[in-house]
Structure 1
Amino acid sequence: MRHALIVDDDVDGASTMAALVELENFSVATAHSLKAARQQIALHPPDVVLLDLRLPDGSGIELFDDSELVSRAVIVLITGYASLETSIQALRLGAADYLLKPVQLKQLQGVLSRVIPPSALVGEVQEMTTTLARSGNFGELWGRASPMLRVYGQISRVAGTAVTVFITGESGTGKELVAKTVHELSRRRSQPFLAVNCGAISPTLLESEFFGHEKGSFTGADRAHPGFFERARGGTLFLDEITEMPQELQVKLLRVLETGSFFRVGSTALQTADVRVVAATNRSPMQAMAEGRLREDLLYRLNVFPIEMPPLRERLDDVPLLAEHFLADFCRREGQHKRFTPQALTALCTYRWPGNVRELRNAILRAYVMTVDEHITAEWLPVGAGDGQPTGMAAGAGESSPPCVVLPVGISMAVAERHLILATLRHFQGQKERTAGTLGISLKTLYNRLKEYGNEAFPPGPGGLS
């Protein structure tokens, strides 16, 4: 039978919690001070420690100095302050999760269901590291360049904790794959991974989609509807393009993160938010905050453990590995073997990939479809000019390069971005896919920006947008 140790100076609270833990088939011991906790750990090494940080003879943080305990036991914080700096510090030191006081049975059951020894998680990371050396992939992420090795190290460090992760990077760099890898290496892996694009949901449905609603709570609500927090319960909720979320919903999201609970629309029944939140954006978070797109308090609540994804142009050594991986996948699915010529791989490595890994994958798919025989040449691949700047597809050599955009000093980043997007869009005669690829943003992001710009994005005449 697995053994739990409850360390809390609240004698009645510890006794109540012990009774709840016993219902989950654990043996239980309690300690009301650091000294008593150390005695219990020596007497009967626990599999899980439920730890209050505020103890009469010191801080529970001190138990993290016991490296043997940290490597063997799952340490779960008990706190009345989810955003307390000491709680964040403990999570960074290796605490697996936290429980808010007063502890709810469902929260406790969820934590106890995720008790996986830290040594087991370390073993999985070591196995993935071995795979990386052999085949070049770390979970669903591919690449051996030093910027990616740094990302793998960060994932390995944070995945086994309950720390909120904030992923930044240009569109197409693989932020969702980072979130998935964090989930797969976490104690929540057996529960759902739910990805949500915050910029792709109708503003009128946002609150209902996130928190759910009861039947009859508004016109058209003909049945109860579980929201994202309920559908991801026990697992990971990935909030992509978080800077596109309206301010009023950011306030409610912040409250959920701080209290661990929420209400369905039209309900007074409190729901438990048992999810790990991973957020992402292709904007600079500080710039988004300065522009009023992201609340400062929400940014600091999300940005506990930042991971920055490098653009593909900063790891061009990974291009052949990625290209071969995508080609092998297409060949396997389509049942027709094809391979790159050396000249084709060279062409791929001289292109700057403004659309990042997503653009590379799409380029390989196009070349696979367009190539008649077994050998994929540079004919259908993007190629780089002598200065390393993109010139478009090899088959379209007559196309002119995009013009320079001259901007006055002192304008805001938002205005500069609008000028750049619209100039690029007009250069490509309204072709949104080419515009997004050249700018290194997703089509969804481009559509969101054009919606903001209104009629300015749609010039009259035959050169209108497609």
Structure 2
Amino acid sequence: MPHLLIVDDEPAVRELIAEIAGDDGYTVAHAGDIRQARIQIDRQKPDVVLLDMQLPDGDGMEFWKELALGDTQVVFITGFSSVDSAIEALRCGAVDYLLKPVSLRRLRGVLSELKEMLTRQPEPGAQNCFTKMIGNSRAMQLLCAHIEKVAPTQATVLLVGESGTGKELAAEAIHLASPRHKQPFMPINCGAISPNLIESELFGHEKGSFTGADRQHKGYFERARGGTLFLDEITEMSMELQVRLLRVLETGRFMRVGTHEETVADVRVIAATNRNPEQAVSNGTLREDLYHRLSVFPLELPPLREREDDILLLAEHFLRHLNEEGRTQKAFSPEALKAMREYTWPGNIRELRNYVYRSYILADDVIKGDFNSFELESRSPGWGSEILVPVGVPLADANRQLILATLKQCGGVKKTAAEMLGISLKTLYNRLEEYGATDDIDQPSSTLR
């Protein structure tokens, strides 16, 4: 049974919470102040602490920081609500923030969710599968719960979500929580590989199978043997290759380019797209039979604007890593935190990370969020700045300047840039490959895909 410590100076509040928690299967300890709380923690380390922010002998939040109980979940209680106190509670790692008089329905819901999380038995390899997926919002909790359900199976998974929502991280979490977690996890961006090379990259080729094939090459399906293959931007794959992929998924076998010998494909396939897959089927960019084969278990990743206070948790996470790397102690101002909460983040987590990085570079000690072109404000999809192109510049050069400037203005988010330019994402990738700019923009990150 999970153990709950209630720290509040009002005996009636403690007794009411204790009764509700006891009915929900908790063992309960009481404390009316910080001194009593220390005694109770020494007697038995709690799994959950309900902690009043203002106590007779000190500040509850400062007391929690001092304790540094990494494995214990904390829910702060206060009778004096403010935006600053809510933000500070999130910084302290609180899973929730309750106002007095405490809503009994809200309290029951919080205790029930925490109990389910604490008593849930992890699947093989699941202990650290969510370490890179930052967030406590209801949308993220639901996503993680679905990942834990599907991970132990062999079902193919189709991840759907806007660009920058963390699809590669979700795919990696499925892999880490699966029986295959000790074998390779290999991500492939189907839109970033040349159409002429992707078949060889996936299935490999034999020596002499085409011009330049001077040795045998093992493709991703062989190199990921026993593990998981993540096919990102699946709608950018050619129709011919989609047919071959469908056959591999149905038969469990494939052939290297230049041979007729079949090889067993011992991999789990997870695919992803930032498009509406049903619309992609209608548009003819995704085969219907392949779509149904991939979406045995579809998962939709929530955009950042629907993840409540995860925005500030992620921003603090990125800033903490930058401070550790740079040995600095920079912090966000209340104005910057407010601006980040109010912004809609069309580029999702990737855009937020880029904003934090730029702001960190420009700030001295405090990130104020007022850096001219980096300032957060609501913008329509058509916002932008001007570029000057001299008369007589070849059209191809003008197009290049426009595309690269638009991509930079969009924070490196290719989907947004393509929409602004009125071209397909595939066309944008082809142009960037021509310009030799694919390595400098929108690179995958261990914390973002």
When normalised by structure 1's length, the TM-score is: 0.58
Give unpaired runs (5+ residues) of structure 1.
1-118, 129-136, 393-399, 404-424, 459-466
Give the direction of change, closer, same or farther, for the CA distance of 1:439–1:228 in structure 2 (3 Å limit).
closer
Is residue 253 of structure 1 aligned with residue 248 of structure 2? no
Q: How does 1:57-96 map to 2 (within 5 A)?
A: none
Is residue 431 of structure 1 aligned with residue 406 of structure 2? yes
Give the secondary structure class of the aligned counterpart of 1:221: coil
How far apart, in 1, do the equivalents of 2:424 and 2:325 lie?
30
How far apart, in 2, do the equivalents of 1:443 and 1:334 lie?
34
How far apart, in 1, do the equivalents of 2:269 and 2:178 lie?
12
Give the secondary structure class of the aligned counterpart of 1:313: helix
Q: How many residues align?
A: 296
Give the direction of change, closer, same or farther, for the CA distance of 1:158–1:178 in structure 2 (3 Å limit).
same
Give the secondary structure class of the aligned counterpart of 1:358: helix
Q: How does 1:4-153 map to 2 (within 5 A)?
A: 121-122=122-123, 138-153=130-145
Give the secondary structure class of the aligned counterpart of 2:309: helix
Contact kept in structure 1, 2:221 and 2:265, CA below 8 Å: yes
What is the aligned-residue identity percentage? 49
Indicate the RMSD between aligned Cα atoms, in angstroms: 3.2
Contact kept in structure 1, 2:124 and 2:178, CA below 8 Å: no
Provide Cα deviations, 1:404-456, integer angstroms capped at 9, x if missing partner.
Answer: xxxxxxxxxxxxxxxxxxxxx97x994322246688648899763336799xx
Is residue 167 of structure 1 aligned with residue 159 of structure 2? yes
Q: How does 1:200-211 map to 2 (within 5 A)?
A: 200-211=192-203
Contact kept in structure 2, 1:170 and 1:283, CA below 8 Å: yes
Contact kept in structure 1, 2:164 and 2:348, CA below 8 Å: yes
How far apart, in 1, do the equivalents of 2:255 and 2:429 lie?
31
> Shift of the alpha carbon at 1:318?
1.0
How far apart, in 2, do the equivalents of 1:233 and 1:221 lie?
23
Contact kept in structure 2, 1:340 and 1:376, CA below 8 Å: yes
How far apart, in 2, do the equivalents of 1:331 and 1:254 lie?
46
When normalised by structure 2's length, the TM-score is: 0.60
Provide Cα deviations, 1:295-314, integer angstroms capped at 9, x if missing partner.
Answer: 00000000010110111111
Give the direction of change, closer, same or farther, for the CA distance of 1:280–1:442 in structure 2 (3 Å limit).
farther
Is residue 194 of structure 1 aligned with residue 169 of structure 2? no
Give the direction of change, closer, same or farther, for the CA distance of 1:124–1:240 in structure 2 (3 Å limit).
closer
How far apart, in 2, do the equivalents of 1:442 and 1:122 lie?
40
Name the amino acid aligned to 2:428: L
Q: How does 1:287-326 map to 2 (within 5 A)?
A: 287-326=279-318
Give unpaired runs (5+ residues) of structure 2.
1-119, 386-400, 436-449
Higher-RCO chain (CA-CA 8 Å, sequence separation at least 6): 2
1:450 paired residue number: 428
> Shift of the alpha carbon at 1:379?
2.0
Name the amino acid aligned to 2:180: R
Give the secondary structure class of the aligned counterpart of 2:370: helix
Contact kept in structure 1, 2:246 and 2:293, CA below 8 Å: yes
How far apart, in 2, do the equivalents of 1:268 and 1:331 lie?
55
Provide Cα deviations, 1:196-233, integer angstroms capped at 9, x if missing partner.
Answer: 01111111112111110111111111000001100111
